[in-house]
């Protein structure tokens, strides 16, 4: 049964406090002891219980990743917040996201940027996310079912790029689609090993300055094979 959204108000308040505390506690890693007020407002505004399967709703505002089916997860709220913060988005920015999943991070980004372009490799997840984000009235989002390694060249260059699945190393195609001065935030590393969340800034000459921020555990960014239904 769906609970009245106001029933989650207290849990949401506690979650937002938890995110602020965790940001403070991990400042030694991230270099940021507080997240921007815009990011904190977005975390308050997006109804996370609408992004988790009905059976998981009771846990929607716990600061944990949750299973969403297809072997995939909805990211931990703190990680969504910190990655959004590290992108340093302006309201005029256009963002490329790889790994839509349930669309929760997409919805947060949509409140911080002018437009979000998001790519998901699992067809059913892409379709569900499209329905959900449309239902929530997120009009500044474009979704594509496809391989994130290709990026979205027709809409490049982007002011910011975020990966929510971990490749072993940064795909050159995605670096190419970032504008000079643009920011890229991604977990990097092998599947099932601790990965590093890194923040990169592209210089005018095309080179990337990279800073490692936080050890994280993300699902791998898969290379779609013949078994994947891509269109
Ligand atoms: N952003 C989500 C978390 C996504 S989990 C959130 O807000 O909770 C990572 C997602 O990346 C999964 O849905 C997975 O299917 C997708 N993914 C993995 N490899 C990919 C690829 N090559 N291209 C696009 N999406 C990919």
pLDDT tens sequence across 40-93: 999 999 999 999 999 999 999 999 999 988 888 999 999 999 999 999 999 999
Looking from the CA of residue 100, the nearest atom of ligand 1 is 1
DSSP 10: H
> For strand 178-188 and strand 195-202, is the pairing parallel, antiparallel, or unpaired?
antiparallel
Give residue 121 CA to ligand 1 midpoint distance, Å: 7
Instruction: Tell me the helices (H) and strands (E) count for the chain, helix number first.
Output: 7, 9
- C-alpha 100 – ligand 1 centre gap (Å): 5
* Structural domain contains residue 192: yes
In a domain, 228, yes or no: no
Does a structural domain hold residue 199?
yes
Give the mean pLDDT of 172-178: 98
Catalytic, 173? Answer no
Q: What are phi and psi of 30, to 5 degrees?
A: -85, -20
Report yes or no on 1 lying in a domain.
no
Name the one residue in this structure whose structure tokens are 């300055």. 209
* Rounded average pLDDT over 150-162: 98
Domain ranges, residue 191? 6-216
Q: Is residue 148, in this structure, part of any structural domain at all? A: yes
Ligand 1 lined by 189 (C-beta under 6 Å): no
Q: Which CATH number do you get for residue 123? A: 3.40.50.150
The number of distinct structural domains making up the chain is 1
Q: Residue 78 domain-assigned? A: yes
Write down the catalytic residue from 75, 84, 118, 207: 75
Is 85 among the domain residues?
Answer: yes
């Amino acid at each position: 049964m769906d609970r009245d959204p106001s029933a989650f108000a207290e849990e949401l308040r506690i979650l937002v406090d938890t995110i602020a505390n965790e940001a403070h506690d991990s400042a030694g890693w991230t270099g940021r002891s507080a997240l921007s007020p815009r990011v904190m407002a977005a975390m308050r505004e997006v109804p996370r219980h609408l992004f988790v399967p009905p059976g998981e709703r009771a846990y929607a505002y716990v600061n944990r990743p949750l299973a969403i089916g297809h072997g995939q997860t909805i990211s931990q709220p703190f990680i969504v917040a910190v990655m959004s913060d590290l992108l340093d988005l302006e309201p005029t920015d256009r963002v490329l996201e790889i790994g839509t999943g349930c669309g929760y991070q997409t919805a947060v980004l949509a409140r911080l940027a002018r437009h979000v372009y998001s790519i998901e490799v699992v067809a059913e997840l892409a379709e569900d996310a499209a329905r959900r984000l449309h239902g929530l009235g997120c009009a500044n989002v474009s979704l594509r079912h496809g391989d994130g390694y290709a990026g979205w060249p027709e809409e490049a260059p982007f002011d910011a790029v975020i990966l929510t699945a971990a490749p072993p190393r940064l795909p050159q195609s995605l670096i190419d689609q970032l504008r000079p001065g643009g920011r890229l935030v991604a977990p990097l590393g092998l599947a099932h090993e601790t990965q590093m969340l890194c923040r990169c800034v592209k210089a005018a000459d095309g080179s990337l300055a990279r800073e490692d921020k936080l050890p994280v555990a993300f699902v791998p960014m898969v290379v779609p094979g013949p078994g994947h239904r891509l269109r």
